[in-house]
Amino acid sequence: MMAFTLFPPSLQPDPVKVSERERVFGIHANDWETSVMMALSPERVRPDRLNVAYPQFESETLRLEFSAANVAWTSRDLTSSGTFGDAREATAERGWQRIDPMIRKLTAVLTEISIFEMSTPAP
């Protein structure tokens, strides 16, 4: 059995312009995730709970994710709300701007996954 991980926001560059802070630290319940949920399942989004929360994390070398040296963390370690980013900018329109091109890329990735086989290690 093979296992694969997918991180949809990394399938393509974000077509929606966001601040540098959002680009770096908008990780959970942020503009990207909230906009996509507003587009796909708006009844699950609670507009009264949309907030902005960024971790106070300053390091030249260490990162929270997607780098050579990551720090282990949980959302509540870094923000009291457990959210990372600015969900107040989220709209269903921004969600669709992200979903449409992402689906094309996701289709290609899933097709490759469906035929992928790990080569046998050399003796």
How many domains does the structure of the chain reveal? 1
**pLDDT greater than 90 at residue 62:** no
Instruction: State which residues form the domain around 28.
Output: 17-114
In a domain, 65, yes or no: yes
Residue range 25-48, pLDDT digits in tens: 898 999 999 999 999 999 999 999
CB atoms within 10 A of CB 12: 13
**CATH number, domain containing residue 48:** 3.40.50.10310
In a domain, 64, yes or no: yes
Whole-model pTM? Answer: 0.83
Q: How confident is the model at residue 122 (pLDDT cuts 50, 70, 90)?
A: confident
Closest C-alpha among 28, 17, 29 to residue 97:
17
User: Which residue type sits at 105?
Assistant: K
Residue range 68-88, pLDDT digits in tens: 888 888 888 888 998 999 999
In a domain, 9, yes or no: no
Q: What percent of the chain has pLDDT over 90?
A: 59
In a domain, 7, yes or no: no
What's the confidence (pLDDT) of residue 27? 86
**pLDDT greater than 80 at residue 18:** yes
In a domain, 53, yes or no: yes
| Whole-number Å distance between alpha carbons of 39 and 8 | 15
In a domain, 120, yes or no: no
| Whole-number Å distance between alpha carbons of 121 and 71 | 32
